[in-house]
Amino acid sequence: MRDEEIEELLQLSKGNFEKSNIMIDGELIYNKQRTSSTAYLFEDGMPGKYSKNIERLIKRICYLMNCKRSQLEIMCVRYKKGEYFGKHVDYFQEHEIDSSGQRIATFFVYLNTIDKGDGGETEFTKLKIKSRPKKGDAVFWYNKNFKTGEMIPETEHQGNPVTGDIMKYGLNIWIRDKSFY
């Protein structure tokens, strides 16, 4: 991701962070499993028309994923010192899926760098893989096995606590199998 895109995303999110929630049994709730903050940059997670930088980013994602703009769900997240997101998967359980469909793929883009030893890694707990935040880098995975149609439980991951005196910023981009808006 380009520096000018990152700076614009951080500016858009500034002042819009609220306590993050999680979905349990189809209901959004606040839970100690997730202590970060979320900024929905765009109404209902998806933009109408934005700057050239943001529009270019959206077009790249749609091109890479061969999806429509309406299938994207996008939000910025912030982790202060000690904050985390416990073990979870990004896809919904069958009874939680609404008219927007399933989250079939995930991009998580790091909007700043966290030095080694300062925590904040994205850890895939079943795969024993950790990704350290580096500005502009992204982690990508499919949540669904397209051959079997099954969701992939090995995508279970967590946002490890930030231990240094720095905040972690990231961008969640989920691709839905139906229009999100």
CA 70 to chain centre: 16
Residue 11: partners with Cβ closer than 8 Å, 6 or more residues away: none
Angle between helices 3-13 and 52-65 (to 10 degrees): 110
Overall size of the chain counted in residues: 181
Domains of the chain, earliest start first: 3-176 (2.60.120.620)
How many whole angstroms separate alpha carbon 155 and alpha carbon 137? 19
**Per-residue pLDDT reduced to its tens digit, 164-180:** 999 999 999 999 999 87
**Per-residue pLDDT reduced to its tens digit, 141-151:** 999 999 999 99
**Per-residue pLDDT reduced to its tens digit, 59-88:** 999 999 999 988 999 999 999 999 999 999
| Closest C-alpha among 35, 34, 43 to residue 16 | 43
Name the maximum alpha-carbon separation found in the chain: 44
